[in-house]
Amino acid sequence: MNKIEETASKIKKSLFSAFKGKPEVVDLVLTALFAGGHVLLEDVPGTGKTVLAKALAKSVNLPFSRIQCTPDLLPSDVTGSSIWIPGKQEFEFRAGPVMTSIVLVDELNRATPRTQSSLLECMAEGQVSVDGNHYSLGTPFFVIATENPVESEGTFPLPEAQKDRFMLTVSIGYPSVEDEIKIITGQNTMQHPVDLIQPVAEKQDVVECMEQVLSVHVDEAVLSYLISLSAVTRQDERIAAGVSPRGSIALYKAGQAYAALNGRNFVTPEDIKLLAEPVFRKRLILKSDAILKGYTEESIIKELLQTVPVPAFRAHV
């Protein structure tokens, strides 16, 4: 068992004491964390997005903050601002909630484009800029943002550049009957299950895992398959804009992290095929006539995955 698999196993065991079911969702979230990416959770309220984020933060003993987005939220409410201190006769920077390790940005599409863009530098550059000064966010810096895909009133669609900053887009979905029973009965205490979680890993463990992910081998055949998947999205007549090179990089890194989570030091074509949908989902812009015909990003991606042959692969590691 490698370091990443061992650490992930401990984290998942801890997580599942509060977040019931959906192991595939947890795997994807940990994939993004260890790959140095960010996650966009698309789901209706009450499916456990906040519980998942808090449980992850407590399991790895990392500082956590939550930003509830509203139309009157200002960029300074996210990044922080300089406050005049009369006694010192100078400005002093007061850090905003984004300056932590794990950030839950709830209902990101309720914030105005100006505030949404304030997250862009944080996610892309790993730093905050206020009044000409730059403040590093450190490593790890992991954003879990949520969107309610059902409700559109009072929301501001994310700009395409913002969508591309998320490595994965994931939907938790409703729990099974058995899991929902566990969720309900688990609340029959004075304390929330998340409050009972004890750290099973430290910041340094996460950083070491992120470093080890970079050494996971990607065979030429697998890389060629990955490129072919990206290329076919750029050629489809139903798609106005296909997956960019940044999307290919995201799939490459996610594949490395996912393979390591599963105890391998090499990526398989099946890893790439499995991750293509959550990586590509928010990176496609469909033509209006395709939307009118009932096509969705998910349906087109599934169709395209069937058109690109999966290469014969044999690990040489």
> Would you state the pLDDT for residue 137?
87
**Residue 48 confidence class, pLDDT cut points 50, 70, 90:** confident
Last residue of a domain, one of 150, 175, 200: 175
On whether both 162 and 226 belong to a single domain, the answer is no
Tokens of 106: 């709830």
Six token digits for residue 217: 């081998």
Residues 167 and 223 in one domain: no
pLDDT band at residue 45 under the 50/70/90 scheme: confident
The string of DSSP letters for 29-95 reads: HHHHHHTT--EEEE--TTSSHHHHHHHHHHHTT--EEEEE--TT--HHHHHEEEEEETTTTEEEEEE
Both 130 and 226 in one domain: the answer is no
Domain's final residue, options 144, 175, 206: 175
Q: What is the pTM for the complete model shown?
A: 0.90
Residue percentage of the chain with pLDDT more than 70: 96
Same structural domain for residues 38 and 141? yes
Indicate whether 316 pLDDT > 70: no
Give the phi and the psi of residue 257 in degrees, each rounded to 5.
Answer: -65, -40
**Tens of pLDDT, residues 131-154:** 778 888 888 999 999 887 766 666
Tokens representing residue 63 in the block: 């500082």
| Structural domain includes residue 282 | yes
Grouping H, G, I as helix, E, B as strand and the rest as coil, residue 147 is strand
Which CATH number is 73's domain given? 3.40.50.300
pLDDT of residue 253: 96
Mean pLDDT across the stretch 101-121? 87
Do 252 and 143 belong together in one domain?
no
Are 144 and 64 in the same domain? yes
Please report whether residue 248 resides in a domain: yes
pLDDT score of 200 more than 60: yes
Other CB atoms within a 10 A radius of the CB of residue 254 amount to 27
Number of domains in the chain: 2
pLDDT at 1 over 60: no
Do the domain assignments include residue 233?
Answer: yes
Task: Report pLDDT for 184.
Answer: 84
Q: Which residue has the tokens 């950083």?
A: 207
Q: Which of 149-163, 181-195, 222-236: highest mean pLDDT?
A: 222-236
- Residue 154 belongs to some domain of the structure: yes
Confidence of residue 174 (pLDDT cuts 50, 70, 90): confident
Higher pLDDT, 45 or 28: 28
Task: Mark whether 168 and 34 lie in a shared domain.
Answer: yes
**For residue 154, what are the domain limits?**
24-175
104/44 Cα distance (integer angstroms): 15
Q: 202 lies in a domain?
A: no
CA-to-CA distance for 210 and 218, rounded, in angstroms? 16
Domain boundary pick from 125, 146, 175: 175
Site of tokens 């992930």: 8
37 and 136 housed in the same domain: yes
Residues 6 or more apart whose CB falls under 8 angstroms from that of 284 comprise: 233, 239, 241, 242, 243, 297, 300, 301
Residue 257 has pLDDT above 80, yes or no: yes
pLDDT of amino acid 254: 97
The whole-number pLDDT of residue 35 equals 95
Same domain, 88 and 144: yes
| Residue 118 clears pLDDT 70, i.e. is over it | yes
Lowest mean pLDDT among 67-71, 84-88, 202-206, 258-262: 84-88
Average pLDDT of the residues in 88-100: 86
Are 69 and 122 within one domain?
yes
Give 157-185 as a DSSP string: PPPHHHHTT-SEEE---PPPHHHHHHHHH
Residue 205 lies in a domain: no
Is 313 inside any structural domain? no
273 in any annotated domain: yes
CA distances from 262 to 85, 122, 199, 209 (A): 52, 30, 22, 13
Q: Which secondary-structure segment (H or E) carries 261?
A: helix 245-261
User: Does 259 have pLDDT greater than 70?
Assistant: yes
> pLDDT at position 87, please?
82
How buried is 306 (Cβ within 10 angstroms: 0-12 exposed, 13-18 middle, 19+ buried)? Answer: exposed
